[in-house]
Amino acid sequence: MRLGETARGLSTLYGTSLVASFGHGMTFPTIPLMVAHFDVSLFWGAQIVTAWSIGALLGTPPAGIIVDKFGARAALLLGPMLIIGGALTVVLSPWFWLVLFAMVFAGMGNSTWMIGREIAGVALVNPEQRGRMMSGFMGTNTAGMALGPALGGVLGDSIDFRAVFLGYTIAGVVVLALSLLAPVKKSDEALSRARPGSAGPKVPFWSPMRIMGIPGLVREIEPGYRATYVALVFATFTMMLYRMVLQSMLPLYVVLFRGFTASELGFLMSLQGIFVIIMILPAGLIMDKLGRKWATVPSTGIPAIAFALMPLADTRVEIGGLLVLLGLASGLSLGSVATSTYDVIPAHARGRLQALRRTTSEVGGIMGPLVGGRIALMANPGVPFLAAAPLLVIAALLLAFVAKETLVRPPRGSPPREEVEAPPT
Q: Give a yes or no: residue 306 inside a domain.
A: yes
Residues 207 and 216 sit within 8 Å (Cβ to Cβ): no
Number of domains, the chain: 1
User: ∠363-367-372 over CA atoms, to 5°?
Assistant: 160
Alpha helices in 193-315 (DSSP H): 208-212, 214-218, 226-251, 262-278, 280-285, 293-309
Residue 153's CATH number:
1.20.1250.20
Q: Give a yes or no: residue 263 inside a domain.
A: yes
Residues 304 and 393 sit within 8 Å (Cβ to Cβ): yes
Q: Give a yes or no: residue 420 inside a domain.
A: no
Residues 254 and 260 sit within 8 Å (Cβ to Cβ): yes
Lowest mean pLDDT among 21-30, 107-116, 236-245, 269-278: 269-278
Alpha-carbon separation of residue 98 from 38, 104, 170, 335 (angstroms): 11, 10, 20, 33
Q: Tell me, what DSSP letter sits at residue 348?
A: G
pLDDT at 142 over 90: no
Could you tell me the sign of the dihedral formed by the alpha carbons of 369, 319, 303, 121, in that order?
positive
Q: Give a yes or no: residue 421 inside a domain.
A: no
Q: What is the pTM of this model?
A: 0.65
Structural domain for 82, as ranges:
5-187+214-408
Averaged pLDDT, 279-307: 88
Lowest mean pLDDT among 228-232, 294-298, 380-384: 380-384
pLDDT at 414 over 70: no
Q: Angle, nearest 10°, between helix axes 130-158 and 5-26? A: 30
Phi, psi of 424 (to 5 degrees): -65, 145
SS3 content of the chain, % helix, strand, coil (to 5): 80, 0, 20
Q: Which residues contact 215 (CB under 8 A, 6 or more apart)?
A: none
Q: Give a yes or no: residue 170 inside a domain.
A: yes
Q: Give a yes or no: residue 413 inside a domain.
A: no
Q: Determine the residue type at 339.
A: T
| Most confident residue range from 10-14, 48-52, 182-186, 310-314 | 310-314
- The alpha carbon of residue 371 and the mean position of all alpha carbons in its chain are separated, in whole angstroms, by 20
Q: Give a yes or no: residue 355 inside a domain.
A: yes
| Distance in angstroms (rounded) separating the CA atoms of residues 190 and 63 | 17
**Residue 258, helix vs strand vs coil:** coil
pLDDT confidence of 394, banded at 50, 70, 90? very high
| Distance in angstroms (rounded) separating the CA atoms of residues 8 and 183 | 8
Q: Give a yes or no: residue 202 inside a domain.
A: no
Residue 371 burial class via C-beta count within 10 angstroms: exposed 0-12, middle 13-18, buried 19 and up: middle
Averaged pLDDT, 388-405: 92
| pLDDT attached to residue 334 | 67
